[in-house]
Amino acid sequence: MALPLETAPHPETLKRVAIDPLTRVEGHGKVTLLLDADNRVQQARLHIVEFRGFEKFIEGRPFWEVPVAVERLCGICPVSHHLAAAKAMDQVIGTTLPPGAEKIRRLMHYGQILQSHALHFFYLASPDLLFGFDAEPQKRNIVALSALQPEIARKGIQIRKYGQEVIRLTAGKRIHGTGAIPGGVNKALTPEERSFLRKDIYAIIAACREAVELVKRLFEENRAHYEAFASFRAHAMCLVAADGALDLYHGGLRARLADGALLFDHFDYSHYWDVILEDVKPWSYMKFPFLRALGDCDRGWYRVGPLARLTLCDYIPTPFAEHERKEFLAFDEGAACHATLGYHWARMIEMLFAAETIKELLHDDDLSRADHVGLAGERRERGVGVIEAPRGTLIHHYRVDENDQVIRANLIVSTTHNNQAMNEAIRRVAQQYLDGNELTEGLLNHIEVAIRAFDPCLSCATHALGKMPLIVELFDAEGRPLDRLVRGADGRCQRA
Amino acid sequence: MSEKTTFWLDGAEIPFTAGQTLLEAARRAGHYIPHLCWHPDYKPHGSCKLCTVKVDGRFVSACTTLAQAGAHVENRTAELDDMRRTLLQLLFVEGNHFCPSCEKSGQCLLQATAYELGMMSPHFDHFFPNRPVDASHPEVMLDFNRCILCSLCEQAAKRDGKFTFVMGGRGMRGRRVILNSESGRLADTDFSSTDHAAHVCPVGVILKKRVGFAVPYGQRRYDQAPVSLLDVAEAIK
């Protein structure tokens, strides 16, 4: 059974429009649309066309190398891969982390959440929201934001910089550090380092509160548009703490169906395959995970990430963020909880949660304890590490042989979990805004706005100072070109 | 008593004692001559050619050439450093040197020397050889992807009266370190993790297992100072 707009019954009679490249995380994505003679959308697909291969080329490598090797998957969220792999390897060596080590890892992770969410919202997404989805392309970037809204840009840069500093002091480098090792971390924080970070954390919390207010104001001012834009109900999944609290570092899996029913709760992720399976479709290199109990990916697809987390957790254990979560849930009787742009609001609340959590951790003397590596215990062949990365649930699964070499790896990254949800979002946008209309750059950007709400890495390239070249071609049923739009490196859009 | 006299290295007067090589005398005097296969504890054999200098206009290996009184030696000239960079680039493309995920990064002589000589790219096409990891030994792992054929492991094993590692094969792709066991696996040799050979590798081939990235950034060997300073500092301490 195919989903609506996933596969047109007679594609040979339709015109094809491709947004290619979308330039995603570490490579390329594209969107293809099939239109009939009246420009009505009959099919819309998000394709991730690049093959990464990490799962294959870490085979044979020693297990202690993996947390550092796999973080190269990403330049924006390397800490998430680093920590998920380290958590898996903790299981392989059968260790229990000393309290200081887990807290340092948590600090590293929340530093990562802070910088990644700030990058995602301020640098990449906010120009769309502040200047309009169909604003001139030259305005849709961080440079224009700095010129036109310098105070907002400055706050974004300030928050991101602070997050990067947290990562530097816990992982050794701002990007691609080595802090987490199997069984713990390779350094504790000195009292001086903690004092250095404590100095600015209150200003960062204040800046994060302003960021939440900014998104809230955007929702209030554009209520109908924001609530309707690519809005849909979906199943959702994330980690939650044992008491149901929001916890982005560790917990059990919780999934709730679109109708509100709980499918599973506090599920031990070391056997995640009992509740999640992966499917494939012939038109995409990216797999389609689904909730196993629902049978297949067309029925069992789900949403992960900030929107899923805030709607699934019972509460947020920091006061400012919890207050904001309640407002978010109550907004127009929950309308923001199903809106794709609600991801940005939820994202800013999580950023505030990260800042508050960092503040708590920095006052904990365990961060400076000398015992930051646990003793190896009973060796296990399998290790599964799951973490809530900025974009959603991230699963790392490894098998290691008796010679310490990785013999199998399976990574289900956040973008993959959200594969079907992103496809659903672009189909909504295609129906809402493109259906029956002549294509313009601004209309096509609506599709990218929806993808950007899920995935910062896609938007990263798209908003690379207006340099992403984009060619959209429209062909008739016989393959004759009808229309061609070219966006150049200078951001100008021309009909060629 | 050795007779003391001098030679000239890049315009500086370097004292030496009879029987000292150019490289030994230069290090003692605080001057760095780039090298990879030379090690103070083992007999020099001049195989990597990185220490090539010009003595009165002739190319020689500084690690095997005895110092001569009054000789004029060129070392850190643009011409020689350019040739050294090429040698390094050849080494990088012949193996699989993925510094970002290598646990020897920051403590690797090849990497440190490439930094020292300003190697900015591999320049040549990579060979991407297929060299499986030997993780058969319980304490030590061998990753020959990173081997630069310095033969220090062979010499260090001999110091312990062993022939664990032997240079063998011929040609650009054939030359390699062979393990002295019928299976060809380290676990089946007489190797012990306390052998000198376990600690001599200048790159990331012979590695103690389960150590990995235990040394944080900022505390790795070449985080402290560049190889040129550390090398001569060790010579004169």
State how far the Cα of A261 lies from the Cα of A257, in Å rounded to an integer: 5
B4-76: which CATH number, 3.10.20.740, 3.30.870.10, 3.40.1500.10, 2.20.25.90?
A: 3.10.20.740
- Report yes or no: A422 and A455 within 8 Å, Cβ to Cβ: yes
Site of tokens 């790219």:
B121
Residue A265 lies inside a defined structural domain of this protein: yes
Same domain for A410 and A265:
yes
**CB distance B211–A64 less than 8 Å?**
yes
pLDDT at res. A292: 97
Closest chain B C-alpha to A93 CA, distance in angstroms: 10
Same domain for A305 and A236:
yes
Please give the residue of chain B at the shortest CA–CA distance from A168.
B217
Residue A186 lies inside a defined structural domain of this protein: yes
Mean pLDDT of B110-139: 96
pLDDT at res. A25: 35
Same domain for A322 and A247:
yes
Same domain for A230 and A93:
yes
- Who among B102, B136, B216 is closest to A187 (CB)? B216
Closest chain B C-alpha to A280 CA, distance in angstroms: 30
**CB distance A187–B136 less than 8 Å?**
no
pLDDT at res. A22: 54
pLDDT reading at B1 higher than 50: no
Residue A204 lies inside a defined structural domain of this protein: yes
**CB distance A186–B215 less than 8 Å?**
yes
Residue A199 lies inside a defined structural domain of this protein: yes
Closest chain A C-alpha to B77 CA, distance in angstroms: 34
* Beta strands in B43-163, from DSSP E residues, in sequence order: 52-55, 58-61, 72-74, 140-142
- pLDDT one-digit tens code per residue, A417-435: 998 999 999 899 988 888 8
- Look at B59 and A487; give whichever has higher pLDDT: B59
Handedness of CA B136, B138, B144, B148 (dihedral sign): negative
Same domain for A228 and A124:
yes
Same domain for A60 and A30:
no
pLDDT at res. A8: 85
Residue A76 lies inside a defined structural domain of this protein: yes
**CB distance A404–B141 less than 8 Å?**
yes
Residue A426 lies inside a defined structural domain of this protein: no
DSSP symbol at A373: B
Nearest in space to B38 (alpha carbons), one of B20, B16, B19, B63? B63
State how far the Cα of B92 lies from the Cα of A442, in Å rounded to an integer: 47
pLDDT at res. A468: 40
Please give the residue of chain B at the shortest CA–CA distance from A182.
B210
CATH number for the domain that contains residue A399? 1.10.645.10
Instruction: List the domain boundaries for chain B.
Output: 4-76, 85-223
pLDDT reading at B91 higher than 50: yes
What interface predicted TM-score (ipTM) does this complex get?
0.93
Domain boundary (A383, A417, A451) is at: A417
pLDDT at res. A10: 80
State how far the Cα of B26 lies from the Cα of B33, in Å rounded to an integer: 7
Residue A304 lies inside a defined structural domain of this protein: yes
pLDDT at res. A460: 28
Same domain for A214 and A356:
yes
Q: Which residues of A touch B218 (CB under 8 A)?
A: 172
* Beta strands in A148-251, from DSSP E residues, in sequence order: 180-181, 184-185, 235-240
pLDDT at res. A59: 93
pLDDT at res. B71: 97
Closest chain A C-alpha to B88 CA, distance in angstroms: 24
- Look at B3 and B228; give whichever has higher pLDDT: B228
**CB distance A178–B209 less than 8 Å?**
no
Same domain for A75 and A35:
no
- Cβ-count burial A448-460 (b if 16+ within 10 Å, e if not): bbbbbbbbbbbbb
Asked if CATH classification 3.40.50.720 holds for the domain at B85-223, the reply, yes or no, is no
Q: Which residues of A touch B215 (CB under 8 A)?
A: 186
pLDDT at res. B28: 96
pLDDT averaged per 10 residues, chain A (length 496): 78 77 50 86 80 82 96 87 97 96 98 95 90 86 89 96 98 96 97 97 98 97 94 97 98 97 98 94 81 95 97 98 98 94 98 98 96 94 97 95 96 89 92 83 84 65 35 66 65 65
What is the tally of structural domains in chain A? 2
**CB distance B103–A64 less than 8 Å?**
yes
Interface of A with B in 74-103 (CB under 8 A): 93
pLDDT at res. A96: 92
Instruction: Enumerate chain B positions whose Cβ falls within 8 A of a Cβ in A.
Output: 100-103, 132-133, 135-136, 141, 209-218
Confidence of residue B122 (pLDDT cuts 50, 70, 90): very high
Same domain for A169 and A190:
yes
DSSP secondary structure string for all residues of A437-477: S---HHHHHHHHHHHHHH-HHHHHHHTSTT---EEEEEE-T
State how far the Cα of A145 lies from the Cα of B50, in Å rounded to an integer: 51
Mean pLDDT of B5-28: 97
In the A/B pair of chains, how many CB contacts fall below 8 A?
59
State how far the Cα of B178 lies from the Cα of B183, in Å rounded to an integer: 11
Same domain for A82 and A30:
no
Please give the residue of chain B at the shortest CA–CA distance from A58.
B101
The range of the structural domain enclosing residue A337 comes to: 55-417
Closest chain B C-alpha to A373 CA, distance in angstroms: 9
Contacts of A206 by beta carbon, 8 Å cutoff, 6+ apart: none
Residue A432 lies inside a defined structural domain of this protein: no
